[in-house]
Structure 1
Amino acid sequence: MARHLTVVPAAELSPDAVRAALAGTAPLAVLPDGPPAVAAAARAALRPEEPLEPGADLVVVTSGSTGSGRAVLLSAAALEASASATHARLGGPGSWLLALPVSAIAGLQVLCRSALSGSVPEVLAKDEPLSAAVARLPVGRRYTSLVPTQLRRWLAEEPAALRAFDAVLVGGAATDAALLGQARDTGIAVVTTYGMTETAGGCVYDGQPLDGVRVRVTDGPAGPGGGGIELTGPTLALGYRLDPAATDDAFAGGWFRTRDAGTFDADGRLSVTGRLDDVVVSGGVNVAPAAVEAALREHPAVADAVVFGRADPTWGQRVVAAVVPAPGATPDLPALREWVAARLGGPAAPRQLHVLDALPLLHTGKPDRRAVAALTQEV
């Protein structure tokens, strides 16, 4: 008998539904909160009226931060392998605080890890102080998973609440070295995670793969500072829903081809250096937006930043920066150009600056780069 997806709005998702999906009895997908158009796009990718592919138990729509979102087919075995390897790396099961959307893999994994360890996570309510949610967690090992924007906010507002966790997983986007250093110097047990929906969430922690996961960097066309990152192991997805061509292309030979560039250091730790398909070529020089963003966030007048390229008649592309000012600060282009040039060279220095009150976010909590570009489009 054909199996079909049960599609649940994020606000209505229950721990029982997650447990049923992990047991293989009720395949599940979660629609994101937010504008109706976002949920409609997710439903269109899920196509619940069509029979579900064999072996899939949870289907997650990617954020589409650099393209169209895809529905990723995950098995209960992959989710269990990820949860078990995570707890093994962190020191054993514990209590989780859910602070991320459950329509994205990072939030769903908090529910899965809790379900597989026989617990129910505490949920951080909207606008609730982090310390109030932490106070509800039972005594014992405590964990949470955040995106860098959340870490930056609570490091400034409630560092003591962050110190209450035995591990604070941070992923979903690149985390600046300066932010990590500040958090660790404050006594926060930050663990950087690298992975994606196609790997059932983070599968490389602090540059080292989880048990059973393997990482390689290809010798193909290099991106900004390295070759293409590929991943394999028991956490790998089955492929993309109703898209065998994309599945064959992305999961060739049992390895998932990410669109990220990276290198290994002398100790064998993976460093993600940017996107293979996200390079600004300005004056014939390749510029990695992620590196420029990291440099800008280190400037005392900048709280957050998104960088992208825009066509330019002289330079081919010019580097454009959209920044959120630090409290009480007024960023200006000459100062930021000098700051970036001193760290990354002249071609990386932004030639255009936009100051925003806040960065628009995807339902995953990551910056919505296409929305930023639209907000800053010249008229």
Structure 2
Amino acid sequence: MLPVHLDGSPSALTRLKDALADALGGGPAVLPFTDPALRDAMAPDEPAEPGTAVVIATSGSTGAPKGVLLSARALTASAEATHARLGGPGHWLLATPAQYIGGLQVLVRSLLAGTTPVLLTGTGFRPDDFAAAAAKLEGSPRYTALVPTQLVRLLDDGGAGLAAARTFDAIVVGAAATPPALRERAADAGVRIVPAYGMSETASGCVYDGFPLDGVRVDVDGDRIRIAGDVLAHGYRLRPDLTAESFSDGWFTTSDRGIRHEDGRIEVLGRADDMINTGGVKVSANAIERCLCAQPGVRDACVVGVPDPEWGEAVVALVVPRGEHGDLRAAVRAELGAAATPKRIEFGAELPLRGPGKVDRAAVRNRFGSISNG
């Protein structure tokens, strides 16, 4: 296995692109990383599992290190299906970290398209830097992939970054849910976004704007989303037990709840573990977040349950405002009922993140502690 340390420099991304091209052609498996501890957890000195082209190392939602095994076939199937859905092979701007599957797939798509990606380097995400990078992108169609937080920053800035965003034929938005209010803001601003649902185990987004990509099958078993197709990973690094739990008979069982509408559209309702049992009533954190984000003056929100001596779990919310807002508790009560109404709402400049655009719910929960001691 070939570890590639991504230190934010263009040369590191070039090394990764070259190693990735080799791996897709049958060369050594690639392990992109920034955290040495996460690299070591993947045991890079031990041989990679057969058929592995890339190992995506992640801390996972519980913080336990996990390595997703992706074959050249899975990566290629994902990239080709993406181009087919978007309108053909194109020119890509890499604007998300390449150690995660969303960023890595930008490199795969570029390799298959025979185009040279433009790399947004450095730390943080600044609209002016995005505009400067976009200006270097030659040819068409023009694509990039962002997380919702980045899209919000472009829309809020309203300057050169937003003007650059308007020049893309499609911006794939993934890694976290795209709230309806954010979709409307993007459309009103003339930015063509494609909300995507997927994960490392599906070689990046596999459901675009609610509909599976070509070659991808999605089933809702009870309320749990299952996925099949060539885009699937073939297991977890050195964890046959986890592999057996999640992969069976060609299907990957996700941790997400969803429903299938009559027209075939898949609606993701949130993680199976986002249900909060408060006073014996189960409420969805995702539904409360959507309600909060739909209110004027709210940019983002994270809802969690915290221990409470009276209710078992109490609903609390961390909200990122973007102006004056009304009575948020009243808005939730009116739409979702008393049980879903947050017992406490705090405000912050941003939500804590782990990875590209994924909210660190554990950090939010720790911030609140419990209602009794808060």
Cα displacement (A) at 1:325: 2.2
Question: Tell me, what secondary structure is at the counterpart of 1:129?
Answer: helix
Q: 1:66 deviation in Å?
A: 4.2
SS at match of 1:239: coil
Gaps of 5+ in 1: 33-38, 220-226
Q: Which of 341, 348, 371 matches 2:363?
A: 371
* Counterpart residue identity of residue 307, structure 1: V
Whether 2:322 is the aligned partner of 1:294: answer no
Q: Which residue of 2 aligns with 1:188?
A: 191
Task: Give the equivalent residue in structure 1 for 2:144.
Answer: 144
Q: Determine the C-alpha separation between the residues in 1 that align with 2:50 and 2:328.
A: 52
Q: Could you tell me which amino acid in structure 1 is paired with residue 92 of structure 2? A: W
Q: For 1:1-379, list aligned pairs within 5 A.
A: 5-11=1-7, 12-14=12-14, 15-32=17-34, 39-126=35-122, 127=126, 128-157=128-157, 158-219=161-222, 227-327=223-323, 329=324, 335-377=327-369
- Does the Cα contact within 8 Å between 2:58 and 2:65 map onto a contact in 1? yes
Instruction: Using the TM superposition, name which of 197-206 and 118-127 deviates more.
Output: 118-127
- Give how far 1:233 is off: 0.2
Q: Counterparts of 1:87 and 1:197 in 2: how far apart (Å)?
A: 18
Q: Which amino acid aligns with 1:245?
A: D
Q: 1:85 aligns to what SS in structure 2? A: helix
- Contact kept, 8 Å, 2:176 with 2:357, in 1: the verdict is no
Q: CA deviation at 1:67?
A: 4.5
**How far does the alpha carbon of each residue in 1:294-348 deviate from its partner, in whole angstroms, 9 at most, with x for none?**
2112222322111100111221111011112215x4x68xx21101111221111
Please give the alpha-carbon distance, in whole angstroms, between the structure 2 residues aligned to 1:374 and 1:103: 27
Structure-2 separation of matches of 1:244 and 1:54: 13
1:111-137 CA distances to partner (integer Å, 9 max, x unpaired)? 111111112211223434322222111
> RMSD of aligned C-alpha atoms?
1.7
TM-score (norm 2): 0.91
Secondary structure at the counterpart of residue 139 of structure 1? coil
Identical pairs, percent: 49
Q: What amino acid sits opposite 1:365 in the alignment?
A: G
Deviates more, 1:17-26 or 1:94-103: 17-26
TM-score for the superposition, normalised by structure 1? 0.90
The one-letter amino acid of 1:110's match is: V
Tell me, yes or no, if the aligned pair for 1:13 and 1:30 is still in contact at 8 Å.
no
Alignment-mate amino acid for residue 185 of structure 2:
Q
**Aligned match of 1:35:** none
The residue number in structure 2 matching 1:224 is none
Letter aligned with residue 142 of structure 1: R
Shift of 1:288: 1.1
Give, in whole Å, the separation in 1 of the partners of 2:349 and 2:187. Answer: 28
User: How many correspondences in the alignment?
Assistant: 358
Contact 1:321 1:354 in 2 (8 A): yes
d(CA) in 2 for partners of 1:107, 1:75: 17
Q: What code does the residue aligned with 1:283 have?
A: G
